[in-house]
Amino acid sequence: MRIMVICDLHYDKRIYRGFDEGMAWEWLLSIVDYHSPEYLLSCGDWGTAVNVGEFYELLRRTVV
């Protein structure tokens, strides 16, 4: 059984300290695709930019 644990994703539509937080969601999807976990456990702070469509896209890949 593979369980992926994340925290502090900070998916937002802004640049913070030189980092484009708008890329966080694509990064998350890419590591979920790469590791193929059965479950994804998030310990909080998804960010403010997550929308329903994107969340369903994640749910098609793994159980959250």
2-59 pLDDT, tens per residue? 999 999 999 998 888 887 888 999 999 999 999 999 999 999 889 999 999 999 999 9
Beta pairing, strands 39-42 & 15-16: unpaired
Alpha-carbon Rg for the chain in angstroms: 12
SS3 state of residue 63: strand
12 to each of 32, 39, 61, how far by Cα in Å?
Answer: 19, 23, 21
Does pLDDT of 1 surpass 90?
A: yes
pLDDT of residue 44: 84
pLDDT of residue 15: 86
SS3 state of residue 55: helix
